[in-house]
Amino acid sequence: MPKAIVLEKSGDKVDAAVRELAAADFPEAEVRLRVEYSSLNYKDALAIVRGEPVVRQWPMVPGIDGAGIVESSTHAQVKPGDRVILNGWGVGERRWGCLAQSAGAMADWLVPLPEQLDSRSAMALGTAGYTAMLCVLKLERHGVKPGDGEVLVTGAAGGVGSVAISLLAGRGYTVVASTGRQAEAPYLKRLGASDIIDRKTLSERGKPLERERWAAVVDSVGSHTLANACASTRYGGVVAACGLAQGMDLPMTVAPFILRGVTLAGVDSVMAPPAVRKEAWQRLADETDRDLLALLSHEVGLQGALELAPRLLAGEVRGRTIVNVNA
Ligand code: NDP
């Protein structure tokens, strides 16, 4: 009987519990995986605590990412025993997800686990790490180079932020970390940040243009923070926007775009095409520093994930949370 976190709607509330399910309870799928590890992302915490807008059907097994072994497959290209990563494509939102010992998927959604990774290290990175890599690739595609100047990373002590800092610093960029948790300064420096700024300097309404400072930005926060980051990006700089931890709004003017030629580049992980995913996961496998991955991640079980979800939404969880679905 596979165990899973099951979310059920009860009035305005979400009932979330770890339950044992019969194999027949799971929807039919082209490929069935034995999940080894999943992780707790911002979206998973939203699903567990608030349900909407993440959960699109009830009951739901959350978990937007997982890694494990193919158990059965009706697709010729995917064989039992293959080691794979599953993330995005509405998994854990529209379709039952990976905070479970078993998960279904379409064959096309799966990324072969790169040789240098195991299921646990893939989920230490998880969707947040893969999104951080998509942001780094976006900056590179727009011509940003390590010698260009300081790169700002917002939401620095969170999942996307922590991985982005380690990847950028590993490539030789000068990284400035914006955080609300000054106590995490030593951690952020160990990941590779050269300077730390208080997120309060970015989180209130600012001017249309500020002093030029950033050559590039990786932003997982949105709202005033993203607006101010754009306003202080240098002439011709690039801002990769992937998140909304502060808010979904973007209260700003077009001044940075039309007067400084700043590029605002959106990053989506859910529907990214297979070739982009494969490249991002391979680059993560090639470039991730194992010691830093251990530093920025910690492990819980399914019950632990339930307990941690409200704290993650409150911005209290550092780095990445690996979920051992068999613990
Ligand atoms: P985390 O909760 O791990 O990190 C978010 C960080 O943002 C926090 O640690 C905190 O960092 C900062 N933060 C939290 N609340 C606020 C606030 N009110 N104002 C300013 N800063 C705040 O989440 P993830 O890193 O997993 O995800 C970050 C964002 O990226 C989320 O919005 C998520 O939905 C989005 N995302 C988008 C993806 C995509 O496909 N576009 C994929 C993955 C994530 P600190 O304490 O250092 O200030």
- Under a CB-based contact definition with an 8 Å cutoff, are residues 130 and 269 in contact? yes
Q: Is 267 in the pocket of ligand 1 (CB under 6 A)?
A: yes
User: In the beta sheet, which residues pair with residue 66?
Assistant: 38, 86
Nearest to 177 by CA among 164, 167, 99, 257: 164
Section 1-10 average pLDDT: 96
pLDDT of residue 290: 96
Model confidence over 19-28: pLDDT tens digits?
999 989 999 9
Q: Is 43 in the pocket of ligand 1 (CB under 6 A)?
A: yes
Q: Is 243 in the pocket of ligand 1 (CB under 6 A)?
A: yes
pLDDT of residue 190: 98
pLDDT of residue 306: 98
- State the distance from the centre of ligand 1 to the C-alpha of 290, rounded, in angstroms: 23
Residue nearest to atom 17 of ligand 1 (CA): 246
Q: Which of 182, 218, 221, 246 to mutate to test the pocket of ligand 1 (most atoms within 8 A of CB)?
A: 221
- State the distance from the centre of ligand 1 to the C-alpha of 82, rounded, in angstroms: 32
Section 10-27 average pLDDT: 94
- State the distance from the centre of ligand 1 to the C-alpha of 70, rounded, in angstroms: 31
The three state secondary structure string of 255-304 is: HHHHHHCCEEEECCCCCCCHHHHHHHHHHHHHHCCHHHHHHHEEEECHHH
Q: Output the CA–CA distances (angstroms, integers) from residue 83 to 52, 117, 146, 296, in the order listed.
A: 32, 10, 34, 24
Three-state DSSP state, 115? coil
- Under a CB-based contact definition with an 8 Å cutoff, are residues 120 and 37 in contact? yes
Q: Is 19 in the pocket of ligand 1 (CB under 6 A)?
A: no
Q: Is 311 in the pocket of ligand 1 (CB under 6 A)?
A: no
Model confidence over 100-140: pLDDT tens digits?
999 999 999 999 999 999 999 999 999 999 999 999 999 99
- State the distance from the centre of ligand 1 to the C-alpha of 308, rounded, in angstroms: 15
Nearest to 293 by CA among 183, 170, 186, 151: 170
- Which atom of ligand 1 is closest in space to residue 313's alpha carbon? 2
Q: Output the CA–CA distances (angstroms, integers) from residue 154 to 157, 165, 190, 218, 244, in the order listed.
A: 8, 10, 16, 7, 11
- Which atom of ligand 1 is closest in space to residue 188's alpha carbon? 47
The span from the CA of 245 to the CA of 248, in Å, is 8
Query: How much of the chain is helix, strand and coil, in % rounded to 5?
Result: 35, 30, 35
Three-state DSSP state, 144? coil
The span from the CA of 34 to the CA of 146, in Å, is 40
pLDDT of residue 150: 98
Q: Is 50 in the pocket of ligand 1 (CB under 6 A)?
A: no
Instruction: Label the pairing between strands 320-324 and 31-40.
Output: antiparallel
Q: Is 244 in the pocket of ligand 1 (CB under 6 A)?
A: yes
Query: What six digits make up the tokens of 314?
Result: 């409150």
Q: Is 246 in the pocket of ligand 1 (CB under 6 A)?
A: yes
Q: Specify the DSSP class assigned to residue 80.
A: T
Please tell me the pTM assigned to this model: 0.97
pLDDT band at 224 (very low <50, low <70, confident <90, very high): very high
Amino acid letter at 215?
A
Query: What six digits make up the tokens of 316?
Result: 């209290």
Q: Which of 130, 217, 220 to mutate to test the pocket of ligand 1 (most atoms within 8 A of CB)?
A: 220
- Under a CB-based contact definition with an 8 Å cutoff, are residues 206 and 231 in contact? yes
The span from the CA of 146 to the CA of 275, in Å, is 25
Section 37-62 average pLDDT: 97
Amino acid letter at 210?
E
- Which atom of ligand 1 is closest in space to residue 180's alpha carbon? 48
Q: Is 206 in the pocket of ligand 1 (CB under 6 A)?
A: no
Q: Is 245 in the pocket of ligand 1 (CB under 6 A)?
A: yes
- 53 prior amide bond cis, ω within 30: yes
Model confidence over 162-180: pLDDT tens digits?
999 999 999 999 999 999 9
